[in-house]
Amino acid sequence: MSSSMPSPPNWQIAVFPALLWLLLTSAPLAAQDCGNNDPARIPNSRFVVNQDGTVRDEATGLMWKQCAEGLSGVGCTAGTALTFKWKQAMRQGQDNLFAGHADWRLPTQTELLSLIQRRCYGLDIDVANFPNTPPAPFWTATSAAYYGGDAWTIHFGTGATGYGTRRDSAHVRLVRDSAACSPARPGSCVAHEARVPLPPAVNPPPTTSPFLP
């Protein structure tokens, strides 16, 4: 009796080289999509960080708040990143006075997607220009057409697009059109007095409490 191993079927012989070729060619393609192989992307030169806590995008012409709502300071390390219901998030822009501008708003889905930067690991955003970004969903102003009362979200931990219901909460990063504040649209501008803090009073009179006798 012969102890030799049986030969593999002809289809296995034909398929194995094809699978090997696919593995060898797909690996370089995956590496090309990996943002971590391009250190020049962080910080990205298209973003210009201003001293007033805003970031101007030279590619889109938009001006962003550098910090997510609730955060402030150098590196956005002060405070706590807040979450809002969608309607609250929409009002957050309308009620916001920051860096001399009163025309902040919630970004559209397309605008917020422009900040996505695909990476192999870490946050999917330029963390040098947008530091301390929570790895979580952020609201957009774009309602989800197929889901009544819902809106699209962008997750900066995974880069995924999702949607939230009126019961959900998500983070907020506000944006404005950098050329919006102009004499042609005075309602979007902040008065000079509101932009420049008044000097402290010299020797102010002492205050008294109405609860003291």
pLDDT digits (tens, 9 = 90+) for 50-88: 999 999 998 888 999 999 999 999 999 999 999 999 999
Please name each of the domains of the chain with its CATH number: 42-195 (3.10.100)
Q: Which residue has the higher pLDDT, 121 or 107?
A: 107
Amino acid found at 200: P
Mean pLDDT of 35-50: 68
Contact 42, 127 (CB under 8 A): yes
Mean pLDDT of 142-150: 84
Give residue 125's pLDDT. Answer: 85
Angle, CA 129 vertex, CA 181 and CA 67 arms, to 5°: 65
Give residue 42's pLDDT. Answer: 63
Give residue 187's pLDDT. Answer: 59
CA–CA separation, 56 vs 151, rounded Å?
A: 25
pLDDT digits (tens, 9 = 90+) for 16-27: 444 444 444 343
Structure tokens at 93: 């822009």
CA 58, distance to chain mean position in Å, is 16
Mean pLDDT of 112-119: 84
200: Cβ–Cβ under 8 A, 6 or more apart, which residues? none
